[in-house]
A = this chain, B = another copy of it.
Amino acid sequence: MEIKLAKNFGFCFGVKRAINIAESIRGGVTYGPLIHNQSEIDRLKNHHNVGVVEKTSEVENGQNVIIRTHGITKNDLLELQKKEVNLIDATCPFVTKPQKIVENMSSEGYQIVIFGDEYHPEVKGVKSYSESEPMVVLSVEDIDLSKLRNKVALVSQTTRKVDNFIKIAEFLIRNVSEVRVFNTICNATFDNQESARELSQEADIMIIVGGKNSSNTKQLLKISLENCKESYLVEEANEVQNGWFTGKKLCGITAGASTPEWIIQGIIDKISKF
Taking the closest CB of chain B, its distance from the CB of A183, in whole angstroms, is 6
Taken together as a complex, chains A and B put the C-alpha atoms of A181 and B177 apart, in Å, by: 8
Chain B residues with CB below 8 A from A182, complex form: 177-178
Does the CB pair A177–B173 fall under 8 Å?
no
Taking the closest CB of chain B, its distance from the CB of A216, in whole angstroms, is 19
Q: Decide yes or no whether A170 CB sits under 8 A from chain B.
A: yes
Binds B, one of A33-41, A81-89, A161-169, A243-251: A161-169
Q: Decide yes or no whether A1 CB sits under 8 A from chain B.
A: no
The answer, among B166, B174, B178, for a CB contact under 8 Å with A173, is B166
What per-residue 1/0 map shows which CB atoms of A176-191 lie under 8 Å from chain B?
1111111100000000
Question: Copies of this chain, how many?
Answer: 2
Taking the closest CB of chain B, its distance from the CB of A68, in whole angstroms, is 24
Does the CB pair A170–B166 fall under 8 Å?
yes
Does the CB pair A177–B170 fall under 8 Å?
no
Does the CB pair A178–B178 fall under 8 Å?
no
Taking the closest CB of chain B, its distance from the CB of A230, in whole angstroms, is 32
Taken together as a complex, chains A and B put the C-alpha atoms of A174 and B178 apart, in Å, by: 18
Does the CB pair B181–A174 fall under 8 Å?
no
Please give me the residue from chain B that is nearest to A170 by CB atom.
Answer: B166
The answer, among B162, B166, B177, for a CB contact under 8 Å with A183, is B177
Please give me the residue from chain B that is nearest to A181 by CB atom.
Answer: B179
Taking the closest CB of chain B, its distance from the CB of A1, in whole angstroms, is 37
What per-residue 1/0 map shows which CB atoms of A84-127 lie under 8 Å from chain B?
00000000000000000000000000000000000000000000
Chain B residues with CB below 8 A from A178, complex form: 180-183
List, sorted by A's number, 9 A–B pairs whose CB atoms are closer than 8 Å.
Answer: A166-B170, A169-B169, A169-B170, A169-B173, A173-B181, A173-B183, A174-B183, A177-B182, A179-B183
A positions within 8 Å CB-CB of B: 162, 165-166, 169-170, 173-174, 176-183
The 9 closest A-B pairs by CB, nearest first: A179-B181, A173-B181, A180-B180, A166-B170, A178-B182, A173-B183, A169-B173, A177-B183, A181-B181
Known pairs A169-B181, A177-B182, A179-B181 / 12 extra A-B pairs, C-beta < 8 Å: A162-B173, A165-B173, A166-B173, A170-B170, A173-B181, A173-B183, A176-B183, A178-B181, A178-B182, A178-B183, A179-B183, A181-B181
